[in-house]
């Protein structure tokens, strides 16, 4: 079975497991886990921020990050296909009282004009005030699209002029860095808080890190504990993330090449699919429903995700080869053709 449902299906390598077994650990609720401290400090430095906080998931990191800017009853603005809007189980409203408004973008790329049109930082006593804008890079449901740096810079200026927080869901920011060559700190310094994930293309079993100011991370640590996210000897998990930083970032380029090989088989069969920028391919299913395509692909040995009524998604990763991805593209082309 060629599993292209997500890059979250990656499993830790033997060397990563060895690094976990050898990790120095302590009680992180008491802020005494040295490996956690190394990871948090290193990621904060890479992204140009003061401090970091280790979290179990990207969803938790996003909830904590947005909550640093938005009080209950205020709003965060984001793309209609953003992960925080579509794939976090309504956690922001359910857990922290945050409301949400969205703009629409066909490929997830942020348009500063859309943000400016929605911004309402001081809406008065009868309307909801904007307290934060969220951007996703790369954009998952947009097809792994990379946000243009000039657009991010324009949104950053808009938010700072308006006194509104800016949060980056950078779960796959590593992919954007590898695809563009733009430094992580160049992206990171545009935002007030940033979350990055290690359990997708980087292949760690668990872990995301939220970064921001020291004051914000101290506040986020309290909320993390309140939500049940206090860790004890979590250095075992942090060691996997540190190993991924040292050994797995550059190989994301191979995942991008595999996504292009997958897409090439579809376009060769006359199926109109955009050339992927990173490791995610969103494919329209035409006359078939996405459920029908997912079922037929599974029978043919390929696992895909349904991300819309007539859209399926393939995500390449380190546990599938370029040749396997090309084979998967041929199988999907046969179904759609």
pLDDT digits (tens), the chain, 337 positions: 999 999 999 999 999 999 999 999 999 999 999 999 999 999 999 999 999 999 999 999 999 999 999 999 999 999 999 999 999 999 999 999 999 999 999 899 999 999 999 999 999 999 999 999 999 999 999 999 999 999 999 999 999 999 999 999 999 999 999 999 999 999 999 999 999 999 999 999 999 999 999 999 999 999 999 999 998 999 999 999 999 999 999 999 999 999 999 999 999 999 999 999 999 999 999 999 999 999 999 999 999 999 999 999 999 999 999 999 999 999 999 999 8
Q: Tell me how far apart the alpha carbons of residues 30 and 232 are, in angstroms, rounded to a whole number.
A: 8
pLDDT value, residue 75 = 98
pLDDT value, residue 100 = 98
Q: Tell me how far apart the alpha carbons of residues 222 and 238 are, in angstroms, rounded to a whole number.
A: 20
pLDDT value, residue 106 = 85
Fold classified for 10-247: 3.40.640
**What's the CATH architecture for 251-336?**
Alpha-Beta Complex (3.90)
Number of other residues whose CB lies within 10 A of the CB of residue 201:
29
pLDDT value, residue 337 = 87
| DSSP-based three-state secondary structure for 36 | helix
Q: Structural domain boundaries of the chain?
A: 10-247, 251-336
pLDDT value, residue 131 = 98
Parallel, antiparallel or unpaired: strands 130-136 and 75-79? parallel
Q: Using CB atoms within 10 A of its CB, is residue 299 exposed (0-12), middle (13-18) or buried (19+)?
A: exposed
């Amino acid at each position: 079975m060629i599993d292209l449902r997500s890059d979250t299906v990656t499993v830790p390598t033997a060397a990563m497991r060895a690094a976990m077994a050898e990790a120095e650990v302590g009680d992180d609720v008491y802020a005494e886990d040295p490996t956690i401290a190394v990871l948090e400090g290193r990621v904060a430095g890479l992204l140009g921020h003061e401090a970091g906080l280790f979290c179990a998931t990207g969803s938790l990191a996003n909830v904590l990050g947005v909550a640093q800017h938005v009080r209950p009853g205020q709003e965060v603005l984001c793309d209609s296909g953003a992960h925080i809007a579509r794939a976090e189980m309504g956690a922001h409203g359910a857990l922290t009282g945050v409301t949400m408004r969205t703009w629409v973008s066909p490929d997830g790329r942020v348009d500063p004009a859309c943000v400016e049109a929605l911004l309402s930082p001081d809406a008065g006593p009868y309307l909801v005030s904007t307290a934060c804008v969220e951007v996703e890079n790369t954009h998952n449901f947009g097809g792994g699209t990379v946000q243009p740096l000039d657009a991010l810079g324009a949104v950053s200026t808009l938010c700072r002029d308006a006194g509104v927080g800016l949060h980056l869901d950078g779960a796959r920011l590593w992919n954007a860095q590898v695809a563009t060559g733009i430094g992580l700190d160049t992206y990171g310094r545009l935002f007030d808080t940033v979350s990055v994930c290690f359990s997708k293309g980087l292949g760690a079993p668990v872990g995301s890190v939220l970064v921001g100011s020291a004051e914000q991370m101290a506040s986020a640590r309290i909320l993390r504990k309140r939500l049940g996210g206090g860790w004890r000897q979590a250095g075992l998990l942090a060691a996997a993330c540190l190993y991924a930083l040292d050994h797995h970032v550059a190989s994301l380029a191979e995942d991008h090449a595999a996504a292009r090989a997958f897409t090439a088989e579809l376009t060769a069969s006359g199926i109109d699919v955009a050339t992927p920028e990173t490791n995610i391919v969103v494919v329209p299913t035409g006359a078939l429903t996405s459920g029908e395509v997912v079922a037929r692909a599974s029978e043919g040995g390929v696992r895909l995700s349904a991300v819309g009524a007539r859209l399926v998604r393939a995500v390449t990763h380190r546990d599938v080869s370029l040749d396997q991805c090309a084979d998967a593209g041929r199988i999907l082309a046969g179904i759609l053709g």
